Structure 1
Amino acid sequence: MTAYKHIFTIIWFVLAFVGLVLTLFVSITFGAKDLTLETVWSAVFNYNEHLTTHQIVHNIRLPRVLGALVTGVAFAVAGAIMQGVTRNPMADTGILGVNAGAAFAVALSFAFLPYLPYSSLIVFAFIGATLSTIFIMLLGSVHSSGLNIMRLTIAGAVVAAILQSLSTGVAIYFNLSQDLAFWYAGGVGGVSWEHLKLLAPIVVTVLIGAILMGRSITFLSLGDESAINLGISIKRVKLFGIAMAVILACSAVAVVGSISFVGLVAPHIARWLVGIDYRKRIIMSALIGAILLVWADFASRMVNPPREFAIGAMVALIGVPFFLYIARKERREM
């Protein structure tokens, strides 16, 4: 039986990887101007700056699609980690208010430091996300029984709503509404190679760290008592886990805006496919998160070309019903 499980796990990983590659080529090939696969292949591997079609692929579509891929990985892995360390199946950096904290910090940066480079913007986003996470954790732990799943989710939703309102107020007062409106709805249209050069190493480094911590997160997700009996330092795993989730979320938010539900949907699908082992679940979550966000971006471009639909809204079409399903399922089991 175990041998069959391993075989099926390998098959799912291969299918997810092939699906991601196909998704990338479809997203790069089709758009306001459809290109052939031969042109895309040539532009990627044999770039000629004098050809217009190569410029479209290299300067516009490739950074955009890779931006969707990397941020999809970031949001999905952050969600998987949050679900593991908090043992909250409804955890997602957007739902728990982490994205909103990062977004509020970015809004303040836009208002007071409009020419701030992306490297500095990540620092501000990290500070905002960290402060909002600490505050939400404190709110979720005020009861004598300690941290509670439902209180944590409600606290995250409340704090996210407050921070989004404050961000809107900042945008209106400083005449940033037009600049921030689409950014808050989420979009990868502005992703450049400069963003990717900084974002990709951060995401890859944290992803490797998360995989290495996967065994500890798996034991922690089974309960504190089980983790202690197996020699796991609960506080250290939670601290490092939440820190990694915050880094991933704020790095992605600083580039594409506050996109929710990727970190909710991808880890659950990953669990259905590869089980509860977080070493496998984190990798599968990364693949599914990348596929989901690349398809969401592709759909946002193709709904009403040449105009674009907000990518955050596209993800929410899947994420909201998924969230309600998980919430209903958890309520039944309580």
Structure 2
Amino acid sequence: MISIKTIAEKCNVSVATVSKALNGHNDIGDETRVRIKKAADELGYLPNAAARALKTNRTYSIGVLFEEEAGCGLTHEYFSGVLNGLKLEVEKNGYDILFISSNFENKKISYYEHCKYRNLDGIAIVCADYKNKQVHELMEGTIPVVTIDYVHYNCTAVCSNNIQGIEDLLRYIYSKGHRKIAYIHGQSNSYVTKERLASFYRTMDSLGIEVPDTYIETADYIETTKTAVCTKKLLELPDPPTCIIYPDDTALLGGMNVIKQLGLQIPKDISIAGYDGSKMSQLLYPTIATIKQDAQRIGTEAARRLICNIEKPKLALVERVIIEGMLLTGQSIANLEPNQ
């Protein structure tokens, strides 16, 4: 590893002068400072992490809480996009990422204790059970926290525009002539679900459409088995819907399988729509009408806000940052006469 002594020898200056140049002191000339920094870059000099921590009172480490219920982990397309955006922005700013848990050296500790032990500068909660007391302890603690798709009074939140997303999707379906629209939504205790479901009812009301209770079903996100059951139930109603909206593009696959098993065709016999805008949804036939979430930008914005709160605490504000999605119309919505 290159030391400041090596840089001093190359530039024919003292170690103290190199230290001052690299640490932004003003009592050396600009020409000398530029020459030393250029030499440091050419030699591949990296400051000692321990020394930097002592000087700045920061470890340049950010904790990530990612507890995803469905068990897909990092293979989940939406969350992998968020994490990738977060990772790239964090590393660009000289920070490292550490995944946090409640297990440490065969002992059970709280998330907050883990973060304190690691002396983390900030925390990004990407996915978690927000009913968990440990998660609330994190959000209410002294370490800067940013949340994804969850709003808390003490934390900056970066959220996809779920309200507008559902409205855009519904208005598109409505424009194709559909009036009997069912919604299989995600788990009811999810903040995302609450926003999407409220937007569904509000948009349908603004369109002058009354939604029968039988048109609303619940299935966990990316859960194909339950969406298959819900789809069959909806299609067997005396007055079935002409279009079904699913919790997400993965859960939608369970519905597609049942539709095919019943000998029905999409969109000729039943129209369907998803959410997330996954790559898979656009490779299926027919391609799926869905809302593409900008997962990478959500992660990037979360990292930017968190780092700003770490480095400029006096400027820190609790904000809610909304990231817009995009409607992908696909081929899965049939054109109907409005009275169908």
- Asked if these proteins are the same fold (TM beyond 0.5), I'd say no
The structure with the greater share of residues assigned to helix is 1
The structure with the greater share of residues assigned to strand is 2
* Greater RCO (Cα-Cα under 8 Å, separation 6 or more): 1
| Bigger CA radius of gyration | 2
- What is the TM-score with the length of structure 2 in the denominator? 0.31
